[in-house]
Copies of this chain bind each other. A is one copy, B any other.
Amino acid sequence: MIGVGVAGYGYWGPNLARAVAESGVAKVEMIADPSPEARKRAAPRHPAARMTGDIGEMLRDPQVDAVMIATPVQTHFELALAALRAGKHVLVEKPMTETVAQAVQLVDEAARRGLTLMVDHTFVYTPAIRKISQLLEDGELGDLYYYDSTRVNLGLFQRDVNVIWDLAVHDFAIMDHLLDQSPVAISACAAGFLAGSPENMAHVTVHYDGGTMANLNVNWLAPVKIRQTLIGGSRKMVVYDDMETSEKIKVYDRGASCNGDPYEHLVSYRLGDMHAPALSTKEALLTEVEEFVRAIDSRTAPLTDGEGGLRVVELLAAASLSTRQRGHPVDLVTRKVAS
């Protein structure tokens, strides 16, 4: 059984530790957090695990096969690199790193050492995204026209990252997983309405080489919480509403087609049934831990590997570049603002 060390027992670390404990395929060997209070909270929940304030101790421990990093984002790179160099498999919280260069270095390091590097893009492991992924693979949706996501609510304003790095990162990870296409250009407009705070509202558009267009609307200062994604395909369309408790995914057999006659140009509409498939009730984090262990055991890439984490950081960095230019599109091949 894989021995796991959890680095950071603040907001997210406890969830990772609990998921490992419940997974049955890995066990929590050690929990590292510099805060004595954090360790005090962790100890009774994981009586078999050792506590330490020194992450170096965890990296040197031979019982620890893999490290899960749930520390502030600015420490991700350093800790993940150290863990890889210590020969540990690594799962790192999203976003993987602060810069593209850091992400590239982690990917290289893991590849060179034959270690698993995985990013905690949790949404990819939710039953809803698993189902949408399957619908796409099965061809039920046809060609993907667009991915249109609204992710707004009141709070929580972050101190260090803006709303794109906090919320749009989820959509970048989901799209990276769902789309069999490469992004070619991105533009993003952002605004901050609280002086001294990072931007709290942004609209992002991504163009893909297959013609798909993605639009993200993220906002920390909205009166209501909305988590809704429209996915338009040539055959069917999906409404994914994460606030729904029972029918998160609705598949609509609806669409339009054109008769092709350039003079007549008649559009006909298809208004068929709607179908809400039952979703698994399995917790995403459990699926994710299993995938981490599977990847380590089989020495194959996990669903959300370091390469994917790198691609997500590339989008985040390019979006940031665009926002600083008031929405100028950034070419994702040349990584320059288009002129």
**Could you tell me which A residues sit within 8 Å of B by CB distance?**
44, 47, 145-146, 148, 150, 152, 154-157, 159, 185, 187, 189, 191, 193-197, 201, 203, 205, 207, 211, 213, 215, 217, 219-225, 230, 232, 234, 237-239, 243, 245-247, 250, 252-258, 260, 262, 265, 267, 269, 271-278, 326-329, 338-339
Other than the given A145-B193, A215-B217, 12 more pairs (CB < 8 A) read: A148-B219, A150-B150, A189-B215, A196-B258, A196-B262, A196-B265, A217-B217, A247-B274, A272-B278, A274-B276, A327-B329, A328-B338
Which of A47, A148, A217, A274: most chain B Cβ within 10 A?
Answer: A274
- Report Cα–Cα, A267/B197, bound state, in Å: 9
**Nearest CB in chain B to that of A44: its residue:** B44
Contact of A145 with B221 in the complex, beta carbons under 8 Å: yes
Partner of A157, one of B150, B253, B267, B278: B267
- Report Cα–Cα, A238/B222, bound state, in Å: 9
- Report Cα–Cα, A273/B157, bound state, in Å: 21
A-B contact list, 19 entries, CB within 8 Å: A146-B191, A146-B201, A152-B230, A154-B255, A154-B256, A155-B267, A157-B256, A191-B213, A195-B260, A196-B262, A203-B205, A205-B327, A220-B256, A223-B252, A223-B254, A243-B245, A274-B276, A327-B327, A328-B338
Q: Which residues on the B side are within 8 Å of A222 (C-beta)? A: 148, 230, 232, 237
**Nearest CB in chain B to that of A200: its residue:** B256
Contact of B327 with A260 in the complex, beta carbons under 8 Å: no
Contact of B272 with A273 in the complex, beta carbons under 8 Å: no
Contact of B234 with A193 in the complex, beta carbons under 8 Å: yes
Contact of A239 with B223 in the complex, beta carbons under 8 Å: yes
Contact of A194 with B267 in the complex, beta carbons under 8 Å: yes
Partner of A271, one of B154, B211, B252: B154
Contact of B260 with A196 in the complex, beta carbons under 8 Å: yes
**Nearest CB in chain B to that of A148: its residue:** B217
Q: Which residues on the B side are within 8 Å of A213 (C-beta)? A: 189, 191, 201
Contact of A275 with B275 in the complex, beta carbons under 8 Å: yes
Q: Which residues on the B side are within 8 Å of A196 (C-beta)? A: 258, 260, 262, 265
- Report Cα–Cα, A314/B243, bound state, in Å: 39
- Report Cα–Cα, A262/B194, bound state, in Å: 12
Which of A44, A246, A267: most chain B Cβ within 10 A?
Answer: A267
Q: Which residues on the B side are within 8 Å of A217 (C-beta)? A: 148, 215, 217
Q: A256-B157, A273-B278 are in contact. Are A328 and B328 (CB under 8 A)?
A: yes
Contact of B197 with A265 in the complex, beta carbons under 8 Å: yes
**Nearest CB in chain B to that of A270: its residue:** B154
- Report Cα–Cα, A293/B239, bound state, in Å: 43
Q: Which residues on the B side are within 8 Å of A187 (C-beta)? A: 187, 189, 326-327
